[in-house]
Amino acid sequence: MAASPKSLVALNVQIVACERCPRLRAHCAEVARVRRRAYADWEYWGRPVPSFGDPEARVLALGLAPGAHGSNRTGRPFTGDGSGNFLYPVLHEAGFASSPQASSLDDGMKLTGLWITSVVRCAPPGNKPTPEEQRNCAPWVDEEIALLKSLRVVVCLGRIAFDGLLAHEQRRGAIIIRSNYTFAHGAEYTLPSGLKVIASYHPSLQNTNTGKLTRPMFLQIFKRAKELAGLN
């Protein structure tokens, strides 16, 4: 592990250079080489995806991992795929995002009061990182939360993100037993550290196309996060 970074910018530089998971690095590089026909003219990012947002954020949105043809293509979390197309309009309506559409690194998108990251920084085959790969990425989450000095609320997008946050709290000795915290959409907890946690279904197409997660449900999550963070 490299020396602890002094800023979120420095942390992102370390994340992009990470080579800890050979399977993930090979998969991302192969996806970037072959490409999807719809994006044949794109130069894919193909590397670990850095985090994005406001360094003074009071709210952290924690996801699972980059999408193979979304973030792995564009180089920014939840940008360029169905999950992002569902997320950013909600963030815009909630007052976190400058635009309802996110398409590329140079689209001018700005976030206010929000930082977006994930428990795994490389696109995994089948969207399923192994436990070892999640452990390899865990130090980035630890460093990131330590550097978000204004953080008050974490929105966990999906069960893996929820479990990843609880694992972080265990590593830092803040909680001992994870079974006291159960994942459910809209569930709220206050951790011993004082950090507020809101659980949400992930905005995957599997959830949004079936109606398991609707836009009003998702918007309420971020409105509540804003309220808990004192941003209203």
pLDDT at 174: 87
pLDDT at 146: 96
Q: How many residues belong to the chain?
A: 232
Structural domain includes residue 34: yes
Structural domain includes residue 55: yes
User: Which residues touch 42 (CB under 8 Å, ≥6 apart)?
Assistant: 35, 73
Rounded CA separation 141/117 (Å): 8
Provide the residue range defining the domain that includes 175: 8-228
User: Which residues touch 124 (CB under 8 Å, ≥6 apart)?
Assistant: 24, 27, 65, 130, 133
Structural domain includes residue 3: no
Rounded CA separation 48/51 (Å): 10
Nearest to 153 by CA among 52, 227, 59: 59
pLDDT at 2: 57
Contact, 116 vs 78, CB < 8 A? yes
Rounded CA separation 163/105 (Å): 29
CATH number of the domain encompassing residue 75 = 3.40.470.10
- In the chain, what are the helix, strand and coil shares in percent, each to the nearest 5? 40, 10, 45
Extract long-range pairs of 81-85: CB within 8 Å, 24+ residues apart.
82/204, 82/205, 82/208, 83/202, 83/203, 83/204, 83/205, 83/208
Q: Mind listing the pLDDT tens digit of every residue in the chain (232 residues)?
A: 556 778 999 999 999 999 999 999 999 999 999 999 999 999 999 999 999 999 999 999 999 999 999 999 999 999 999 999 999 999 999 999 999 999 999 999 999 999 999 999 999 999 899 999 999 999 999 999 999 999 999 999 999 999 999 999 999 988 888 888 999 999 999 999 899 999 999 999 999 999 999 999 999 999 999 999 999 7
Domain count, the chain: 1
Structural domain includes residue 219: yes
Query: Regarding beta strands 59-63 and 114-118, do their DSSP bridges make them parallel or antiparallel, or are they unpaired?
Result: parallel
Instruction: Label residues 143-165 b or e (16+ Cβ within 10 Å = b).
Output: bbbebbeebbbbbbbbebbbbbb
pLDDT at 116: 98
pLDDT at 117: 97
DSSP state of 47: S
Structural domain includes residue 125: yes
Structural domain includes residue 203: yes
Rounded CA separation 116/166 (Å): 17
Nearest to 18 by CA among 53, 43, 51, 56: 51
Structural domain includes residue 1: no
